[in-house]
Amino acid sequence: MTVKEKIIRHLITMDDLTNEEIMTIIEEAKSFKEVLTRDIKKVPALRGKTVVLLFFESSTRTKISFELAAKRLSADVVNFSASTSSLKKSESLKDTVRTIEAMAADIFVMRHSYPGSTQLVAKYIKGSVLNGGDGAHSHPTQALLDMYTIYEKKKRFKDLKVAIIGDIKHSRVVRSDIEGLTRMGANVVLCGPSTLLPRYIEQFNVGVTYNVEEAIKDADVVMGLRIQFERQEQGLFPSVLEYSQFFQINRPRLKKAKPDVLLMHPGPINRGVELESEVADSVYSVIDEQVTNGVAVRMSLLYFLAGGKDEQVTD
């Protein structure tokens, strides 16, 4: 008699998913997107499961997106906010998550400003941990929704030129995007001032340029990244005005891309800094769609992980 045992899956980096699994999540997201267009935007797939949102760092879209995704799958959602918690009474991170887990939670969505913190928590608890962003390390669900948005429009990843422009150094989104997109065969080109490009980044199988026109030329996808003023030590570039003159994605520069280029941005946008305001609202922009797709992709992911795809026969 074989007994199948469920393996609890975490999603800390894109490395936790195989290429095949990424495609499953992306392809099924379409069905979940359809659920979002119904009058009653709710399906009973995760009834009885509890999803805890552990946000130790501020967030608008990721948190709301995960919350809606979980609620639309009929899971119960518990919100945890660091500022009103016992962390203020100096409870440790480990004790905090253990306490919450003791109240029977199944899936933890966590954001924290420390790289690796989600990995650490995954070791302490029995439920699935989904990384909602840890420092500048990784943000896999953003990568999945970016990939879904690209796939929905282009129907492929192979040989697409994806130009990512802006603050590469402080971006967790870009690390996950690079991982996912290059594995699927896209050509990723990074661009930004040399102070915002980490050293040795070429080793991740990406092109690097300091010339924004060259990055955008013939691109299928142009992605702007937010200049993260809150993570910046002083002096990485002389002034915002100078940055926008050299690196802003604006209309003349975007003309150099393919005519059916997609303009993406993980948000929040600094209008007039990394994106010209008109460009952000242009026909090329899929920035709002990225947000809608985020809910669908996270539903797809929650459904996938709650089911526990990977099984092992233990006899």
Partner 1 sequence: MKVKTQIMTKEEMFRSLKRVAHEIIEQHNGAKNLVILGIQRRGVPLGKIIKEEIEASENKKVPFGVLDITLYRDDLSTIGNAPRVNATDIPFDLNGKDVILVDDVLYTGRTIRAALDEIMDFGRPANIEVAVLIDRGHRELPILGNFIGKKIPTSKNEIIEVKLQEIDKKYGVFIVEKDSPVSNKKEKPKPTKKKPVRSLKKPVNTKKARKK
Residues that bind partner 1 (CB under 8 A): 3-10, 12, 15-19, 24, 28, 30-32, 34-35, 38-40, 42-49, 73, 119, 122-123, 126-127, 300, 303-304, 306-312
What is the smallest separation between the CB atom of 45 and partner 1, expressed in angstroms?
Answer: 4
The rounded Cα 32 to chain-centroid distance in angstroms is: 18
DSSP 8: P
What is the smallest separation between the CB atom of 293 and partner 1, expressed in angstroms?
Answer: 16
* Closest to partner 1 by CB, 19 or 79: 19
* Closest to partner 1 by CB, 15 or 218: 15
Q: What DSSP string describes 50-61?
A: EEEEEESS--SH
DSSP 220: S
Structure tokens at 111: 């954001």
CA dist 270 and 201 (Å) reads 25
Helices and strands (H, E) in the chain, number of each type: 11, 11
* Closest to partner 1 by CB, 9 or 112: 9
Structure tokens at 122: 């995954």
* Closest to partner 1 by CB, 122 or 212: 122
What is the smallest separation between the CB atom of 237 and partner 1, expressed in angstroms?
Answer: 37
* Closest to partner 1 by CB, 12 or 190: 12
What is the smallest separation between the CB atom of 310 and partner 1, expressed in angstroms?
Answer: 6
What is the smallest separation between the CB atom of 178 and partner 1, expressed in angstroms?
Answer: 17
CA dist 94 and 86 (Å) reads 12
Residue-level length of the chain: 315
Strand partners of residue 128: 107
Structure tokens at 168: 């590469």
* Closest to partner 1 by CB, 46 or 280: 46
Q: Give the residue from 97, 180, 130, 178 showing the smallest Cα distance to 303.
A: 130
What is the smallest separation between the CB atom of 138 and partner 1, expressed in angstroms?
Answer: 12
